[in-house]
Amino acid sequence: MNKCLLILSFIYLAEGQQEVTVHLKQDVTLVCQSSSVENISVLKWSRSDLNSDGYVYFYRNKRCFESYQHPWFHGRVMLRDAGMKGGDASLILKNATFKDAGIYECHLLVRELVESRRSYSEISHVINLTVTDAGEFGARDVLVRP
């Protein structure tokens, strides 16, 4: 395969970051969507402050690599759709604790065919997860306008 035929394009679909709030001990879905393309080569969910110790979730070539996963997330995260149908790369984090608050980044490498040549696009999505104490005060909607 001629390396010149490999086109790398970087597409940042969702710019800016998404604010997500979860109550203590609840499950939360961190949404990440790869347009309509289903051919996901690599999916990395990471948290910038834990990067050196592993990923939140790491998937490559149709399998999850638990050895690349940060121990904190072992058994606590799962894909919303195990088959990532329709490009759904959302992650469910179970039983949230205060230590789960932070900046999560979804990073996707998607294989595409452009004019019958193979190319890859990269998609990034950033989520700021806040964990609040359970109770009615946690349910407030906070609207922040620039």
Ligand X SMILES: *[C@@H]1O[C@H](CO)[C@@H](O)[C@H](O)[C@H]1NC(C)=O
Q: Give me the residues that bind ligand X (CB under 6 A), please.
A: 25, 37, 39, 95, 97, 103, 111-113, 128, 130
Compare residues 29 and 95 and give the one whose CB is closer to ligand X: 95
Compare residues 68 and 81 and give the one whose CB is closer to ligand X: 81
Question: 3-state class of 81 per DSSP?
Answer: coil
CB of 135 to ligand X, least distance (A): 17
CB of 95 to ligand X, least distance (A): 4
Sign of the alpha-carbon torsion through 26, 87, 68, 55: negative
Compare residues 9 and 128 and give the one whose CB is closer to ligand X: 128
Q: Is 136 left (phi over 0), alpha (psi -120 to 50) or beta?
A: alpha
Structure tokens at 69: 């996963």
